[in-house]
Chain A
Amino acid sequence: MRLPDTVTGLAFALLGIAAVLVARGFPAPGGQAVGPALFPTIVGTIMAAAGLIVAGRALFDRNRRALRIEDWMRRPGTLVAIAIVPAGIATYALLAPLVGTIVVGAAVVFAMALAWRERVGAALLAGAVASVALYAFFVMALRVPLPAGPIELWFQ
Protein backbone atom coordinates (compact mmCIF):
# COMPACT_ATOMS: atom_id res chain seq x y z
CA MET A 1 0.00 0.00 0.00
CA ARG A 2 1.72 3.16 -1.21
CA LEU A 3 1.23 6.03 1.23
CA PRO A 4 2.64 9.55 1.01
CA ASP A 5 6.04 9.81 2.72
CA THR A 6 4.59 12.52 4.94
CA VAL A 7 2.23 9.97 6.47
CA THR A 8 4.73 7.11 7.00
CA GLY A 9 7.48 9.50 8.14
CA LEU A 10 5.16 11.14 10.68
CA ALA A 11 3.86 7.79 11.90
CA PHE A 12 7.39 6.53 12.62
CA ALA A 13 8.35 9.89 14.16
CA LEU A 14 5.36 9.64 16.52
CA LEU A 15 6.36 6.09 17.44
CA GLY A 16 9.86 7.35 18.25
CA ILE A 17 8.51 10.21 20.37
CA ALA A 18 6.17 7.82 22.17
CA ALA A 19 9.12 5.54 22.96
CA VAL A 20 11.05 8.47 24.43
CA LEU A 21 8.04 9.57 26.52
CA VAL A 22 7.43 6.07 27.87
CA ALA A 23 11.15 5.70 28.63
CA ARG A 24 10.98 8.82 30.84
CA GLY A 25 8.96 6.73 33.28
CA PHE A 26 11.74 4.12 33.61
CA PRO A 27 13.63 4.11 36.93
CA ALA A 28 16.93 5.98 37.23
CA PRO A 29 20.07 3.86 37.44
CA GLY A 30 21.00 3.24 41.05
CA GLY A 31 24.65 4.25 41.26
CA GLN A 32 25.30 3.16 37.69
CA ALA A 33 26.21 5.17 34.63
CA VAL A 34 23.53 3.72 32.40
CA GLY A 35 19.90 3.00 33.16
CA PRO A 36 17.13 1.22 31.31
CA ALA A 37 15.93 4.51 29.81
CA LEU A 38 19.11 5.45 27.94
CA PHE A 39 18.86 3.24 24.86
CA PRO A 40 15.13 3.69 24.22
CA THR A 41 15.69 7.45 24.50
CA ILE A 42 18.57 7.46 22.00
CA VAL A 43 16.86 5.14 19.51
CA GLY A 44 13.50 6.91 19.88
CA THR A 45 15.14 10.28 19.25
CA ILE A 46 16.98 9.07 16.14
CA MET A 47 13.80 7.46 14.86
CA ALA A 48 11.77 10.62 15.46
CA ALA A 49 14.40 12.75 13.72
CA ALA A 50 14.73 10.42 10.71
CA GLY A 51 10.95 10.10 10.44
CA LEU A 52 10.52 13.88 10.55
CA ILE A 53 13.16 14.36 7.83
CA VAL A 54 11.41 11.77 5.63
CA ALA A 55 8.09 13.59 6.16
CA GLY A 56 9.61 17.06 5.79
CA ARG A 57 11.39 16.20 2.55
CA ALA A 58 8.17 14.90 1.07
CA LEU A 59 6.32 18.03 2.21
CA PHE A 60 8.70 20.33 0.34
CA ASP A 61 9.03 18.06 -2.67
CA ARG A 62 7.20 19.74 -5.56
CA ASN A 63 6.35 16.52 -7.36
CA ARG A 64 5.36 14.66 -4.21
CA ARG A 65 3.10 11.69 -4.25
CA ALA A 66 -0.38 12.28 -2.94
CA LEU A 67 -2.49 9.39 -1.63
CA ARG A 68 -3.30 7.67 -4.87
CA ILE A 69 -5.81 4.96 -5.60
CA GLU A 70 -3.74 2.14 -7.04
CA ASP A 71 -4.97 -0.34 -9.60
CA TRP A 72 -5.37 -3.20 -7.19
CA MET A 73 -7.45 -1.08 -4.80
CA ARG A 74 -10.17 -0.83 -7.44
CA ARG A 75 -10.48 -4.58 -7.76
CA PRO A 76 -12.64 -5.97 -4.93
CA GLY A 77 -11.32 -9.49 -5.62
CA THR A 78 -7.76 -8.38 -4.97
CA LEU A 79 -8.76 -6.52 -1.81
CA VAL A 80 -10.36 -9.70 -0.47
CA ALA A 81 -7.28 -11.73 -1.48
CA ILE A 82 -5.07 -9.37 0.53
CA ALA A 83 -7.38 -9.02 3.53
CA ILE A 84 -7.83 -12.77 3.81
CA VAL A 85 -4.16 -13.16 4.87
CA PRO A 86 -4.37 -11.15 8.14
CA ALA A 87 -8.01 -12.19 8.61
CA GLY A 88 -7.04 -15.87 8.34
CA ILE A 89 -4.27 -15.45 10.92
CA ALA A 90 -6.60 -13.62 13.31
CA THR A 91 -9.27 -16.29 12.86
CA TYR A 92 -6.80 -19.00 13.82
CA ALA A 93 -5.56 -17.07 16.86
CA LEU A 94 -9.13 -16.45 18.09
CA LEU A 95 -10.86 -19.72 17.25
CA ALA A 96 -8.24 -22.49 17.23
CA PRO A 97 -8.02 -22.70 21.06
CA LEU A 98 -11.82 -23.26 21.09
CA VAL A 99 -12.49 -25.42 18.06
CA GLY A 100 -9.10 -26.98 17.36
CA THR A 101 -6.40 -26.65 14.74
CA ILE A 102 -7.82 -29.00 12.11
CA VAL A 103 -11.22 -27.35 11.69
CA VAL A 104 -9.96 -23.77 11.81
CA GLY A 105 -6.91 -24.57 9.67
CA ALA A 106 -9.05 -26.23 7.01
CA ALA A 107 -11.49 -23.30 7.03
CA VAL A 108 -8.68 -20.74 6.68
CA VAL A 109 -7.02 -22.62 3.80
CA PHE A 110 -10.40 -23.13 2.10
CA ALA A 111 -11.35 -19.45 2.36
CA MET A 112 -7.97 -18.22 1.17
CA ALA A 113 -7.90 -20.69 -1.73
CA LEU A 114 -11.32 -19.42 -2.85
CA ALA A 115 -10.18 -15.81 -2.51
CA TRP A 116 -7.14 -16.69 -4.61
CA ARG A 117 -9.45 -17.96 -7.38
CA GLU A 118 -9.20 -21.66 -6.79
CA ARG A 119 -12.08 -24.00 -7.69
CA VAL A 120 -14.37 -24.99 -4.79
CA GLY A 121 -13.53 -28.69 -4.96
CA ALA A 122 -9.79 -28.12 -5.04
CA ALA A 123 -10.08 -25.55 -2.23
CA LEU A 124 -11.99 -28.01 -0.04
CA LEU A 125 -9.49 -30.77 -0.71
CA ALA A 126 -6.50 -28.47 -0.10
CA GLY A 127 -7.99 -27.31 3.21
CA ALA A 128 -8.70 -30.81 4.50
CA VAL A 129 -5.40 -32.36 3.41
CA ALA A 130 -3.23 -29.41 4.49
CA SER A 131 -4.69 -29.06 7.97
CA VAL A 132 -4.66 -32.79 8.78
CA ALA A 133 -1.13 -33.26 7.36
CA LEU A 134 0.33 -30.24 9.16
CA TYR A 135 -1.40 -31.19 12.40
CA ALA A 136 -0.04 -34.72 12.18
CA PHE A 137 3.47 -33.45 11.35
CA PHE A 138 3.68 -30.96 14.20
CA VAL A 139 1.96 -33.14 16.82
CA MET A 140 3.46 -36.51 15.98
CA ALA A 141 6.90 -35.68 14.55
CA LEU A 142 7.70 -32.50 16.50
CA ARG A 143 5.51 -33.21 19.55
CA VAL A 144 4.01 -29.73 19.68
CA PRO A 145 0.70 -29.58 21.54
CA LEU A 146 -1.24 -27.60 18.92
CA PRO A 147 -4.64 -26.23 19.98
CA ALA A 148 -6.97 -29.22 20.00
CA GLY A 149 -10.75 -29.47 19.64
CA PRO A 150 -13.26 -32.31 19.44
CA ILE A 151 -11.81 -33.75 16.22
CA GLU A 152 -8.26 -33.86 17.52
CA LEU A 153 -9.37 -35.50 20.79
CA TRP A 154 -11.25 -38.09 18.78
CA PHE A 155 -8.05 -38.83 16.81
CA GLN A 156 -6.20 -39.60 20.01
Chain B
Amino acid sequence: MKYVKPESFEVASQLLQNESGTSRILAGGTDVLVQLKAEMVEPDLMVDLKHLPGMQDITAENGGYRIGAAVPGAVVGEHDGVKAMWPGVVEGLELIGSTQVQGRATMAGNLCNGSPAADSVPALVTAGAMARVHGPDGARDVPVADIPQGPGKTNLSKGEFITSIFLPARPDHAGDAYLRFIPRTEMDIAVSSAAVSLVLDAAGTCRQAHVAVGAVAPTVRLVEKAGKALEGSQLDSDAIAAMKTAVEAACNPIDDKRGTIEFRTKTAAVLAERAARIAYSRAGGQS
Protein backbone atom coordinates (compact mmCIF):
# COMPACT_ATOMS: atom_id res chain seq x y z
CA MET B 1 0.00 0.00 0.00
CA LYS B 2 1.21 3.44 -0.95
CA TYR B 3 0.37 6.31 1.41
CA VAL B 4 0.45 9.82 -0.14
CA LYS B 5 -0.06 13.23 1.37
CA PRO B 6 -0.49 15.39 -1.79
CA GLU B 7 0.27 19.11 -1.85
CA SER B 8 -2.94 20.12 -3.60
CA PHE B 9 -6.45 18.95 -4.50
CA GLU B 10 -5.31 18.78 -8.13
CA VAL B 11 -2.48 16.39 -7.34
CA ALA B 12 -4.79 14.32 -5.15
CA SER B 13 -7.28 14.05 -7.96
CA GLN B 14 -4.59 13.03 -10.47
CA LEU B 15 -3.21 10.37 -8.13
CA LEU B 16 -6.63 8.88 -7.62
CA GLN B 17 -7.44 8.99 -11.31
CA ASN B 18 -4.18 7.33 -12.30
CA GLU B 19 -4.36 4.53 -9.73
CA SER B 20 -5.23 1.28 -11.44
CA GLY B 21 -5.81 -0.63 -8.20
CA THR B 22 -7.93 0.08 -5.16
CA SER B 23 -7.67 3.51 -3.57
CA ARG B 24 -9.03 5.05 -0.40
CA ILE B 25 -9.20 8.61 0.84
CA LEU B 26 -8.14 9.38 4.39
CA ALA B 27 -9.82 12.15 6.34
CA GLY B 28 -10.89 11.06 9.82
CA GLY B 29 -10.13 7.43 9.03
CA THR B 30 -12.79 6.08 11.38
CA ASP B 31 -14.17 3.82 8.65
CA VAL B 32 -11.10 3.25 6.48
CA LEU B 33 -8.72 2.31 9.28
CA VAL B 34 -11.26 -0.05 10.80
CA GLN B 35 -11.74 -1.72 7.40
CA LEU B 36 -7.97 -2.06 7.06
CA LYS B 37 -7.63 -3.64 10.48
CA ALA B 38 -10.53 -5.98 9.83
CA GLU B 39 -8.85 -6.95 6.53
CA MET B 40 -11.98 -5.98 4.61
CA VAL B 41 -9.91 -3.95 2.15
CA GLU B 42 -6.24 -3.68 1.23
CA PRO B 43 -5.95 -0.50 -0.81
CA ASP B 44 -3.03 0.02 -3.17
CA LEU B 45 -3.21 3.77 -2.64
CA MET B 46 -4.21 5.81 0.39
CA VAL B 47 -4.52 9.57 -0.19
CA ASP B 48 -4.50 11.70 2.95
CA LEU B 49 -6.41 14.97 2.49
CA LYS B 50 -6.66 16.27 6.06
CA HIS B 51 -3.98 18.95 5.68
CA LEU B 52 -5.25 20.61 2.46
CA PRO B 53 -6.64 24.18 2.56
CA GLY B 54 -10.06 24.53 4.12
CA MET B 55 -10.36 20.86 5.04
CA GLN B 56 -10.24 21.65 8.78
CA ASP B 57 -12.26 24.90 8.68
CA ILE B 58 -15.81 25.92 9.48
CA THR B 59 -16.55 29.25 7.72
CA ALA B 60 -19.66 31.43 7.58
CA GLU B 61 -20.92 31.78 4.00
CA ASN B 62 -24.09 33.39 2.62
CA GLY B 63 -25.80 33.18 5.99
CA GLY B 64 -24.98 29.47 6.30
CA TYR B 65 -21.85 27.48 7.08
CA ARG B 66 -19.25 25.66 4.99
CA ILE B 67 -17.73 22.75 6.86
CA GLY B 68 -14.42 21.32 5.67
CA ALA B 69 -14.43 17.63 4.83
CA ALA B 70 -11.90 16.80 7.57
CA VAL B 71 -13.61 18.72 10.39
CA PRO B 72 -14.26 16.17 13.12
CA GLY B 73 -17.62 15.75 14.81
CA ALA B 74 -16.27 17.02 18.12
CA VAL B 75 -15.39 20.38 16.50
CA VAL B 76 -18.77 20.76 14.82
CA GLY B 77 -20.40 19.84 18.13
CA GLU B 78 -18.69 22.78 19.83
CA HIS B 79 -19.51 25.33 17.10
CA ASP B 80 -22.26 27.53 18.53
CA GLY B 81 -23.32 28.91 15.14
CA VAL B 82 -23.81 25.54 13.44
CA LYS B 83 -25.46 24.07 16.52
CA ALA B 84 -27.96 26.92 16.75
CA MET B 85 -28.83 26.84 13.05
CA TRP B 86 -28.86 23.07 12.35
CA PRO B 87 -29.21 21.22 15.67
CA GLY B 88 -30.55 18.11 13.93
CA VAL B 89 -27.50 17.87 11.67
CA VAL B 90 -25.19 18.25 14.66
CA GLU B 91 -27.01 15.66 16.76
CA GLY B 92 -26.84 13.16 13.91
CA LEU B 93 -23.13 13.72 13.47
CA GLU B 94 -22.48 13.46 17.21
CA LEU B 95 -24.16 10.05 17.39
CA ILE B 96 -21.38 8.47 15.34
CA GLY B 97 -19.17 6.20 17.42
CA SER B 98 -17.82 7.20 20.80
CA THR B 99 -16.26 10.33 22.29
CA GLN B 100 -12.90 9.11 21.02
CA VAL B 101 -14.24 8.45 17.53
CA GLN B 102 -15.84 11.92 17.53
CA GLY B 103 -12.35 13.39 17.71
CA ARG B 104 -11.78 12.13 14.17
CA ALA B 105 -15.06 11.19 12.47
CA THR B 106 -16.24 13.55 9.71
CA MET B 107 -19.54 14.26 7.97
CA ALA B 108 -17.98 13.91 4.53
CA GLY B 109 -16.46 10.57 5.48
CA ASN B 110 -19.77 9.37 6.89
CA LEU B 111 -21.39 10.36 3.58
CA CYS B 112 -18.73 8.78 1.35
CA ASN B 113 -18.65 5.53 3.34
CA GLY B 114 -21.99 4.96 1.64
CA SER B 115 -23.81 3.29 4.50
CA PRO B 116 -27.62 3.45 4.33
CA ALA B 117 -27.46 3.79 8.12
CA ALA B 118 -25.05 6.77 8.17
CA ASP B 119 -26.16 8.92 11.09
CA SER B 120 -25.17 12.32 9.74
CA VAL B 121 -26.76 11.90 6.31
CA PRO B 122 -30.55 12.05 6.85
CA ALA B 123 -30.40 15.47 8.50
CA LEU B 124 -27.97 16.74 5.83
CA VAL B 125 -30.53 15.62 3.24
CA THR B 126 -33.45 17.33 4.97
CA ALA B 127 -31.25 20.41 5.36
CA GLY B 128 -30.71 20.56 1.62
CA ALA B 129 -26.95 20.50 2.23
CA MET B 130 -24.59 20.73 -0.76
CA ALA B 131 -21.33 18.83 -1.12
CA ARG B 132 -18.43 20.53 -2.92
CA VAL B 133 -16.81 17.86 -5.01
CA HIS B 134 -13.30 18.21 -6.41
CA GLY B 135 -12.35 16.17 -9.43
CA PRO B 136 -10.24 16.04 -12.57
CA ASP B 137 -12.39 18.81 -14.08
CA GLY B 138 -12.21 21.09 -11.03
CA ALA B 139 -14.89 21.73 -8.41
CA ARG B 140 -18.67 21.28 -8.61
CA ASP B 141 -21.49 21.46 -6.08
CA VAL B 142 -23.75 18.42 -5.66
CA PRO B 143 -26.76 17.98 -3.35
CA VAL B 144 -25.81 15.62 -0.51
CA ALA B 145 -28.93 13.62 -1.33
CA ASP B 146 -27.41 12.73 -4.72
CA ILE B 147 -24.11 11.37 -3.38
CA PRO B 148 -25.12 7.91 -2.06
CA GLN B 149 -25.82 5.24 -4.67
CA GLY B 150 -26.24 2.12 -2.55
CA PRO B 151 -24.56 0.28 0.31
CA GLY B 152 -20.85 1.17 0.15
CA LYS B 153 -21.25 3.05 -3.15
CA THR B 154 -21.42 6.73 -4.10
CA ASN B 155 -22.10 8.57 -7.31
CA LEU B 156 -18.65 10.18 -7.23
CA SER B 157 -16.47 9.41 -10.26
CA LYS B 158 -12.90 8.17 -10.24
CA GLY B 159 -10.63 10.96 -9.05
CA GLU B 160 -13.44 12.81 -7.27
CA PHE B 161 -13.69 13.55 -3.56
CA ILE B 162 -15.58 15.91 -1.27
CA THR B 163 -13.74 18.95 0.08
CA SER B 164 -16.55 20.57 2.08
CA ILE B 165 -20.23 20.44 2.91
CA PHE B 166 -22.37 23.58 2.84
CA LEU B 167 -25.31 24.05 5.18
CA PRO B 168 -27.55 26.84 3.85
CA ALA B 169 -29.02 29.78 5.76
CA ARG B 170 -32.22 29.34 7.79
CA PRO B 171 -35.27 31.61 8.01
CA ASP B 172 -36.90 32.37 11.37
CA HIS B 173 -39.14 29.67 12.91
CA ALA B 174 -37.07 26.81 11.59
CA GLY B 175 -35.94 23.66 13.32
CA ASP B 176 -34.62 20.20 12.57
CA ALA B 177 -34.09 16.98 14.46
CA TYR B 178 -32.63 13.52 13.97
CA LEU B 179 -33.43 10.30 15.83
CA ARG B 180 -32.21 6.77 15.32
CA PHE B 181 -33.17 3.44 16.79
CA ILE B 182 -30.40 1.31 18.24
CA PRO B 183 -30.79 -1.61 20.64
CA ARG B 184 -28.38 0.05 23.06
CA THR B 185 -27.96 3.67 24.09
CA GLU B 186 -24.71 4.39 22.23
CA MET B 187 -21.83 2.79 20.29
CA ASP B 188 -24.13 1.30 17.68
CA ILE B 189 -25.44 1.58 14.13
CA ALA B 190 -28.94 2.74 13.29
CA VAL B 191 -31.48 -0.02 12.73
CA SER B 192 -33.74 2.74 11.42
CA SER B 193 -33.55 6.51 11.57
CA ALA B 194 -35.40 9.67 10.64
CA ALA B 195 -34.62 13.35 10.20
CA VAL B 196 -37.15 16.11 9.94
CA SER B 197 -36.58 19.75 9.03
CA LEU B 198 -39.42 22.25 9.40
CA VAL B 199 -40.00 25.91 8.62
CA LEU B 200 -43.05 27.38 10.35
CA ASP B 201 -44.95 30.59 9.90
CA ALA B 202 -45.48 32.97 12.79
CA ALA B 203 -48.69 31.13 13.73
CA GLY B 204 -46.88 27.79 14.02
CA THR B 205 -48.12 26.21 10.80
CA CYS B 206 -45.60 24.19 8.79
CA ARG B 207 -44.75 26.02 5.59
CA GLN B 208 -41.97 23.70 4.54
CA ALA B 209 -41.27 20.18 5.77
CA HIS B 210 -38.61 17.69 4.78
CA VAL B 211 -38.57 14.14 6.07
CA ALA B 212 -35.76 11.67 5.41
CA VAL B 213 -35.29 8.13 6.67
CA GLY B 214 -32.17 6.02 7.04
CA ALA B 215 -31.37 2.29 7.20
CA VAL B 216 -34.66 1.37 5.56
CA ALA B 217 -33.54 1.39 1.91
CA PRO B 218 -30.28 1.05 -0.05
CA THR B 219 -29.70 4.76 0.49
CA VAL B 220 -31.00 7.43 2.83
CA ARG B 221 -34.40 8.44 1.45
CA LEU B 222 -35.99 11.88 1.28
CA VAL B 223 -39.72 11.10 1.56
CA GLU B 224 -41.39 13.93 -0.28
CA LYS B 225 -44.95 12.75 0.43
CA ALA B 226 -44.17 12.65 4.13
CA GLY B 227 -42.97 16.25 4.06
CA LYS B 228 -46.04 17.31 2.07
CA ALA B 229 -48.29 15.62 4.64
CA LEU B 230 -46.95 17.92 7.35
CA GLU B 231 -47.03 21.13 5.32
CA GLY B 232 -50.00 23.29 6.20
CA SER B 233 -50.46 21.52 9.53
CA GLN B 234 -49.50 22.12 13.12
CA LEU B 235 -48.64 18.44 13.44
CA ASP B 236 -52.19 17.43 14.26
CA SER B 237 -52.92 13.73 14.41
CA ASP B 238 -54.22 13.45 10.83
CA ALA B 239 -51.11 15.09 9.43
CA ILE B 240 -48.86 12.87 11.53
CA ALA B 241 -50.78 9.75 10.51
CA ALA B 242 -50.49 10.70 6.84
CA MET B 243 -46.80 11.43 7.30
CA LYS B 244 -46.23 8.04 8.97
CA THR B 245 -48.13 6.24 6.21
CA ALA B 246 -45.95 7.97 3.62
CA VAL B 247 -42.79 7.03 5.53
CA GLU B 248 -43.82 3.39 5.82
CA ALA B 249 -44.62 3.31 2.11
CA ALA B 250 -41.18 4.68 1.29
CA CYS B 251 -39.35 2.04 3.33
CA ASN B 252 -37.75 -0.79 1.45
CA PRO B 253 -35.50 -2.39 4.05
CA ILE B 254 -33.89 -5.80 4.36
CA ASP B 255 -34.22 -8.49 7.02
CA ASP B 256 -30.89 -8.96 8.72
CA LYS B 257 -29.19 -9.49 12.04
CA ARG B 258 -29.96 -5.91 13.05
CA GLY B 259 -33.69 -5.90 12.41
CA THR B 260 -36.60 -7.24 10.42
CA ILE B 261 -38.36 -5.49 7.53
CA GLU B 262 -41.43 -5.11 9.72
CA PHE B 263 -39.46 -3.66 12.63
CA ARG B 264 -37.47 -1.21 10.54
CA THR B 265 -40.57 0.05 8.72
CA LYS B 266 -42.60 0.56 11.88
CA THR B 267 -39.88 2.24 13.86
CA ALA B 268 -38.86 4.54 10.99
CA ALA B 269 -42.37 5.98 11.09
CA VAL B 270 -42.35 6.22 14.89
CA LEU B 271 -38.99 8.02 14.82
CA ALA B 272 -40.21 10.36 12.07
CA GLU B 273 -43.14 11.39 14.27
CA ARG B 274 -40.92 11.91 17.29
CA ALA B 275 -38.33 13.84 15.27
CA ALA B 276 -41.07 16.00 13.76
CA ARG B 277 -42.28 16.94 17.23
CA ILE B 278 -38.76 17.85 18.35
CA ALA B 279 -38.12 19.86 15.18
CA TYR B 280 -41.47 21.62 15.65
CA SER B 281 -40.58 22.60 19.18
CA ARG B 282 -37.13 23.79 18.11
CA ALA B 283 -38.79 25.93 15.45
CA GLY B 284 -40.78 27.63 18.19
CA GLY B 285 -44.03 25.77 17.56
CA GLN B 286 -46.31 25.14 20.55
CA SER B 287 -47.80 21.67 20.42
- Do these two chains interact? no
Measured CB to CB, the residues of A under 8 A from B are: none
Interface residues of chain B, those whose CB is within 8 Å of chain A, are: none
